[in-house]
Amino acid sequence: MSTAIGFIYPDHAAEDDYPLAEKLLQESGVSVSLEVAHIYGTDLHAVPELLDLGSPEKLSQGAALLAEKQPAAVVWACTSGSFVYGPDGAPGQIAGLADDAGVPASSTSFAFVNAAHTLGVKKVAVAASYPEDVAALFVQFLAAGGIEVVAMSSQGIDTAAEVGTLTPEQVLDIARAHDHPDAEAVLIPDTAMHTIGVLADLEAELGKPVLTANQVTIWEGLRLAGFTSVQPSLGALFRGRLDNDNLRS
């Protein structure tokens, strides 16, 4: 019997990354189902809208939608809708979600920090799809988690729906263009972007770990649920054992 892991996903864009990852995980012997529940709001990459999208009321709705699946853990699958609360507000956001869901919870923003720590990465390049003011908030969030951003780019894309239409080659182009020689890894922080199917190509192209939003979100859910997994097609993050030591739970 599969263990369910719940993901609260905003609107619609790249949620098909989750069944693809589930298939790959099951092929590697991990008996999990990745359950996605949708909440809705404007998909603008703008601070007021993102604060509303990640509000306690909306996340509580998502937790209620997932309840019948009896998930072992729940993750708020939105980077911008979590880091916009800042390093002081984001812990309360996931604490509230954990209370509502009755299981361990996290968000994509904390997943990025935990994934970087697991890989021993301290210096990164950020290839963001967001407008610059929103991307800068992600840089601040990473800095609070002890991760130095040596290069940051912003594509200036205003909506998640537009990000969801980027082709695999466009995703590769964004990563190629915004790597940095001092970066130990490249971070691509938008769950609206399809990345699960191109992780192997991204890392082969750049020659270093690449952390993407849906990848780290899924990894975080597995970690919280107590799973270990080796699935090389999901990137360097999945080539070793998941490690709960010294990570935010």
Question: Of 38-42, 229-233, 245-249, where does mean pLDDT reach its minimum?
Answer: 245-249
| Mean pLDDT, residues 182-188 | 97
Q: Look at residue 92 in the predicted model and tell me its pLDDT.
A: 98
Q: Residues with Cβ < 8 Å from 156, sequence gap 6 or more?
A: 130, 131, 132
Q: Look at residue 136 in the predicted model and tell me its pLDDT.
A: 93
Domains, the chain, ordered by start: 3-108+214-231 (3.40.50.12500), 111-212 (3.40.50.12500)
Predicted confidence (pLDDT) at residue 24 exceeds the cutoff of 90: yes
Is the model's pTM score more than 0.85? yes
Q: What angle do CA 26, 95, 31 make, to 5 degrees?
A: 10
Rounded to 5 degrees, φ, ψ at 66 are -85, -15
Predicted confidence (pLDDT) at residue 248 exceeds the cutoff of 60: no
Burial 228-237 (b: 16+ CB within 10 A, else e): ebebebbbbb
Q: Tens of pLDDT along 35-91?
A: 999 999 877 788 989 999 999 999 999 999 999 999 999 999 999 999 999 999 999
Q: How far apart are the first and last CA of the chain?
A: 25
What pLDDT band is residue 244 in, cutting at 50, 70 and 90? very low
